[in-house]
Amino acid sequence: MLSVEIEKRLGDFVLQAAFETASGATALFGPSGAGKTSLANAIAGLLTPDRGRIRLAGETLFDSQAGIDMPAWRRRIGYVFQEGRLFPHLSVRHNLNYGRWMNGLAADAKTFTRVVELLDLGRLLDRRPGNLSGGERQRVAVGRALLMQPRLLLLDEPLASLDAARKADIFPYLERLRDEARVPIVYVSHDVAEVRRMATQIIVMDQGRIVNQGGLELLARQSANRAGTVLDDPERL
Amino acid sequence: MLSLTPQEWTAVALSLRVALVSTVAALPLGIAIALLLARKQFWGKALIDGLVHLPLVLPPVVTGYLLLITLGRKAPVGAFLAEHFGIVFSFRWTGAALACGVMAFPLMVRAIRLSIEAVDRRLEDAAATLGASPLWNFATVTLPLALPGVVAGMMLAFARALGEFGATITFVSNIPGETQTISAAIYTLTQVPEGDSAALGLVVIALLISLAALMASEWLARRANARLHGI
């Protein structure tokens, strides 16, 4: 599905990652500062790696040797940011339609209604992002990414800015999304419980590197240790 | 008090036309230069920045003289434009608009540039991931979010153009009906005996126009802000 093999130096920090994902949901898991968001940005085309390759469904998005660097706006990767990043000057409805307009997709009332129902956005359509709650904003952001008909959905800590109650509110929507939307998902998180509920494949990152990858069984060891710390890193033991 | 002669009304109308045309005509270039200065790093940026701001620090008469010796009828660029495109600036109202545009340009660019710099670039990144090409990104995210600054820039430019005197009178002189704006007309009236009451009439008109423009821009900026902050 998605295959990544990149290197990027950001000051003293070196991001070095190589992995492949299957279909379904893959978690990028690790403590904050591990380089998860940088990796997500590289996949989306918002950060240019120094070298390496990124391929999605057989298409090369980036290849430093071949001189390929597809700009973000051509990649068709839906990205849900930590802080939503809704367009404040557009209504919720127009935020949702933005990706369809920019990609020149035909209006599709059925898909629109399905996503609006999936995320329970019906009441919000004519409101502005300025007066939505944090949880509502993130749901709109998910819907906006989904409605551009992405080839891959990147969710970067979509619940990080929410309190526990809000997280519990929005999680069922994300699970439905995973089960019904049939878009491969990369879910970035530092939260064991979120990852356990969301992902089938896990990529563990720390200090810019991938230190482990595999299935949910990785979490058994993870949660036995202190949450949020990654002790599977051989260099740190 | 407002019993102005037709000639004085002509000056008022001409002033409005010159200020409006110079502001609107300068706007696309102003936005382009503001965007360039706000977002791009390139060799010679400091020079462009300096050239744009030059009319702000030069004596207006100097700016007008520079226009005269480059765009005057017998000057190289002016002669070229007149011969090949039929565009003549010297001693025409279009020249007054050009002089006003040049004088107002730094104020316009400055306001727009600041507002573009204040736009959250993360929103532009979000737009890019949603498929917005750089041009669409600018048109649908950057520009609408910078709109209050664009309005402020236009307002400043309009006000500057309305008050322009030195560069205009140097470049296109003070020809009633063609290049005599309110400022020039007031100046002329103060030079003749019994011109005082007419000058006062024009002063009142200038005051009213300026006040109306200020209030209009304040109203527009408030509306734009409300739109941005989502109510």
Residue A103 to residue B208: CA distance in whole angstroms: 48
The confidence score (pLDDT) of residue B79 equals 87
pLDDT at A105 over 50: yes
In chain A, alpha helices (H): 36-44, 72-75, 92-102, 109-119, 134-147, 164-180, 192-198, 217-224
Give me the mean pLDDT over the A122-142 stretch. 92
* Domains, chain A, with CATH or none: 2-236 (3.40.50.300)
Give A145→chain B minimum CA distance, Å.
7
* Domains, chain B, with CATH or none: 7-228 (1.10.3720.10)
**Test mutation, A43, A76, A82, A87, chain B, max B CBs within 10 A:** A87
Q: Across the interface, do A88 and B141 touch by the CB < 8 Å criterion?
A: no
The confidence score (pLDDT) of residue A41 equals 96
Which of B125, B127, B230 comes nearest A128 by C-beta? B230
pLDDT at A146 over 80: yes
Chain A residues lying within 8 Å of B129, measured CB to CB: 44-46, 72-73, 75, 77-79, 145
Cβ burial, residue A46 (10 Å; 0-12/13-18/19+): buried
The confidence score (pLDDT) of residue A116 equals 93
Chain A, chain B: beta-carbon pairs less than 8 Å apart: 76
Q: Across the interface, do B131 and A73 touch by the CB < 8 Å criterion?
A: yes
Quick: pLDDT tens for A18-51: 999 988 899 999 998 899 999 999 999 999 999 9
pLDDT at A234 over 60: no
Look up residue B213 and give its two tokens.
Answer: 């423009």
**pLDDT confidence tier of residue A223, bands split at 50, 70 and 90:** low
For residues B184 and B7, is the Cβ–Cβ distance under 8 A?
Answer: no
Give B230→chain A minimum CA distance, Å.
4
Bridge partners (DSSP) listed for residue A16: A7, A209
pLDDT at B73 over 90: no
The answer, for B1 touching chain A at a CB cutoff of 8 Å, is no
The answer, for A107 touching chain B at a CB cutoff of 8 Å, is no
Query: What ipTM does this complex have?
Result: 0.89
The confidence score (pLDDT) of residue A176 equals 84
Residue A137 to residue A156: CA distance in whole angstroms: 14
In sequence order, the 6+-apart residues with CB closer than 8 A to the CB of A205 are A17, A28, A29, A30, A34, A35, A36, A39, A211, A230
Chain B residues lying within 8 Å of A89, measured CB to CB: 144-145, 227-228, 230
The confidence score (pLDDT) of residue B231 equals 53
What are the Cα distances from residue A123, in Å, to A86, A113, A116, B159? 17, 12, 9, 45
User: Quick one: DSSP state of residue B15?
Assistant: H
The closest alpha carbon to B150, from B221, B87, B63, B85, belongs to B221
Quick: pLDDT tens for B45-71: 999 999 999 999 999 999 999 999 999
- Poorest-pLDDT segment among A58-67, B75-84, B181-190: B75-84
pLDDT at A236 over 80: no
3-state secondary structure (DSSP) of residue A33: coil
pLDDT at A230 over 50: no
B 200-229 near A (Cβ less than 8 A) = 227-229
